[in-house]
Structure 1
């Protein structure tokens, strides 16, 4: 899995070896329809919380789907794609080191495989997250940045909204990304699942 972050934007590159169909996000947990007169930005629905100082993420915990995984650093390759961390470790997430540190102002971006040839991987269950679920990021200074899920979306690989995922933000936010959507043998996943969350509180070391 790799996410394109330069050029045309943030689509999933065709990849992946599916061993079983991962859960798809529920329509009820997507952003409210623009026709309903509501914004797709969490800033319109979530109160601002005081952010934290810089510290790199070292672990991600999502209690509602049983995720408890170490976090490594990932960065774009020469083609401008952001790969997930090594598929040799299915329980490993990757923090895009050019994004915000979780808890600081901006969009913190963490990706991970949905599955590998060995079976379901760290972000297999992202599709069953719901609004209001908690994501906890343990940081190198042993503090924890907690986030609350605002929405879960699945996009075609070339239609991920780069500005909402990787763009500037005036508050601490979190984006989780994995493969998703239609899957075909030989071309892999044709989309990506994106979880949007806002910073809700800091837990001291």
Structure 2
């Protein structure tokens, strides 16, 4: 089981998923907060019951699944509602991330947390040993986001502005991968970091 943990984060369309895949090729277990965010609100999960208690049964579909669109309407543009939702979901996601990482085979595991900076940083994830930031120049990030989501420049700017700033993310970083090249560049960076993390994990009591 792993005893050494890396937090992977970065802005929207920065290349987190591609870097995840590069580490996965090395056999590293990666727990992704975005995927777990769906699992913790599956029918029967305590977090879903808490969401329904707070926001009402009209956020459920007929089959008992969470109606994400309806919930999004409720919290969009209302900071109090958004914070209430985050107070329910974030602890459940953090607990599941940690459990997956601690149960992972290998010397270390990675927790991908897109909103790590916004969600409290190191204070919210005290079990992380290092934080790896995928950093992308703003112009490149914006172009990728527009192409990926088929949106215009105005919406892309709004989505980027809603997240922590590039400087705020970099202030948390122990390691940085600059993603302004191709997938081969990311793989080389992941290979180099993998060797470093294996060495660090091996030497950590």
Q: TM-score, normalised by structure 1?
A: 0.24
More strand by share: 1
* TM-score (structure 2 length as normaliser): 0.24
Q: Which has the larger radius of gyration?
A: 2
Which structure: greater helix fraction? 2
Higher RCO, 1 vs 2 (CA within 8 Å, ≥6 residues apart):
2
